[in-house]
Amino acid sequence: MGSLTAENNIVLSADDKDTTLADRNTHATRVAGLGSDPEKKALFASVTKRIDYTPKFGTELHGIKLSQLTEQQSEELAALIAERGAVFFRDQDDLDYKEHVKLGKRWGPLHVHPLVPHTQDNPEVIVLDSRLSPPSRFNTNDSWHSDVSFEPAPASFSILKFEEIPEAGGDTIWSNGYQLYDDLSQPIKTLLEGLTATHSSDIFKILTQSSGRKTFGKLNDSVHPVIRTNPVIRTNPVTGWKSVYVNPVFTREINDLNPIESKWILDYLADLVSKKLQYQIRFHWKKNSVAIWDNRSTYHTGVPDFRPYHRRGVRVTVSGEKPFYDPASGTQAKAWEVTAKAIVAKQEATEKANVEKANVAAQDTASATTA
């Protein structure tokens, strides 16, 4: 057993008998959400209120209890998350560690994090407690990233619940990788679609050396971090849409470019992620709120503005498929054209009906006055 904080039942560090990451983190054998009902009738039958944060990105659902989802509802939810990037829920007090793990396992094998503390009986449930990570240590959440993109099986979905929240601050922001791709000029798209990038866990080596904390399994080797090559442009297997798949925390270089070119492009993309407000949504946590997001097409960062208050969350991360790029895959922008036309048509029909209603009311008033 690694070291514990008995009061909170948290495992802080590994022992020397832990298995390697390759043993503990495997690829998903299927794609959750693929082929589910596009109208998501089973899921929305339980929804009492839907709030879309922007037309394309982010949705909050009310009336859903995640611990009570049927298999069909969970598949439709996986598809909705892939489409909307992130989906949010309130008042999930009954989503305990067991149910948290159960929900994640419906979508694939669960990841065991190499560094972040986990609950004693559930190594897949990591603990994000600000009291365990003062400002000078383990503060990687300040930076935009997609979870564990260096892994052989990078994260598909992450499911985060906050049990304790600060009195002020502590929001999380997400950025839309689909829209980032869609807004790039065609020459830049063409360049990036033929490239791969190196993702590395070396930041954890730096953090462990500065703190003295041991990591779980393979990352105890401080000389050889886990390194993977992923496409710069990735196809989401559920939606079939292209997104940009590099991030400032784990992506080290774009392969086949010289260092200056690689740095310029990575800095440019990171700048778009962090500064383009039209790509972003912001979630204000309440106790027992849950956020679920798709790491294949989004980036996120915690906002470190809540100290001296504390917050504590628990997260389950689902291991996904090996990242791939399909040149024939589509885009969110193209798919959105159909939805946008339907929205415009509905608005026009509503406006027409309102005008007709107003005309009828005016005629009735005129008739009453004449009489």
Q: Is residue 256 part of a domain?
A: yes
300 is catalytic: yes
The C-alpha atoms of residue 4 and residue 93 are separated, in whole angstroms, by: 25
Q: Is residue 359 part of a domain?
A: no
Q: What is the pLDDT of residue 271?
A: 96
Q: What is the CATH number of the domain that holds 320?
A: 3.60.130.10
Q: What is the pLDDT of residue 13?
A: 44
Lowest mean pLDDT among 216-220, 335-339, 359-363: 216-220
Q: Are 170 and 302 in contact (CB under 8 A)?
A: yes
Q: Looking at the DSSP assignment, which residues form a beta bridge with residue 241? A: 330
Please count the structural domains in the chain: 1
Q: What is the pLDDT of residue 210?
A: 61
Q: Is residue 90 part of a domain?
A: yes
282 is catalytic: no
DSSP 2-20: --EETTTTEE-S--TTPPP
The C-alpha atoms of residue 169 and residue 162 are separated, in whole angstroms, by: 13
Q: Is residue 356 part of a domain?
A: no
Tell me the average pLDDT of the chain: 87
The C-alpha atoms of residue 91 and residue 267 are separated, in whole angstroms, by: 38
Evaluate if residue 272 carries a pLDDT over 90: yes
pLDDT, one tens digit per residue, over 112-140 is: 887 788 888 888 999 998 887 655 443 44
- Helix 97-107 crosses helix 71-84 at what angle (to 10 degrees)? 70
User: Which has the higher per-residue pLDDT, 120 or 315?
Assistant: 315
Domain that holds residue 27: 4-330
Instruction: Provide the strand spans (E) within 63-141.
Output: 86-89, 118-119, 122-129
Instruction: Exactly one of 129, 147, 182, 294 is catalytic; name it.
Output: 147
Q: What is the pLDDT of residue 277?
A: 97
Q: What is the pLDDT of residue 337?
A: 92
Q: What is the pLDDT of residue 367?
A: 74
Average pLDDT score over residue span 155-184: 97
**pTM, full prediction:** 0.88
Instruction: Exactly one of 145, 213, 228, 311 is catalytic; name it.
Output: 145
Q: What is the pLDDT of residue 16?
A: 37
Q: Is residue 24 part of a domain?
A: yes
Helix, strand, coil % over all residues of the chain, rounded to 5: 35, 25, 40
Q: Is residue 198 part of a domain?
A: yes
Evaluate if residue 344 carries a pLDDT over 90: no
Evaluate if residue 5 carries a pLDDT over 70: no
User: Which has the higher per-residue pLDDT, 352 or 321?
Assistant: 321
What confidence tier does 28 reach under pLDDT thresholds 50, 70, 90? confident
For 97-110, give one letter per residue: b (16+ CB within 10 A) or e: eebbbbbbebbbbb
pLDDT, one tens digit per residue, over 35-94 is: 999 999 999 999 999 999 999 999 999 999 999 999 999 999 999 999 999 999 999 999
145 is catalytic: yes
Instruction: Exactly one of 24, 234, 311, 315 is catalytic; name it.
Output: 315
Q: Looking at the DSSP assignment, which residues form a beta bridge with residue 230? A: 197
147 is catalytic: yes
Instruction: Exactly one of 100, 111, 199, 300 is catalytic; name it.
Output: 300
Q: What is the pLDDT of residue 295?
A: 99
Q: Is residue 206 part of a domain?
A: yes
What confidence tier does 101 reach under pLDDT thresholds 50, 70, 90? very high
pLDDT, one tens digit per residue, over 220-268 is: 444 468 899 999 999 999 999 999 999 999 999 999 999 999 999 999 9
Average pLDDT score over residue span 142-165: 93
Q: Is residue 358 part of a domain?
A: no
DSSP 314-359: EEEEEE-PPP---TT-B-HHHHHHHHHHHHHHHHHHHHHHHHHHHH
| Region of residue 91 (left: phi > 0; alpha: psi -120 to 50; beta: else) | left
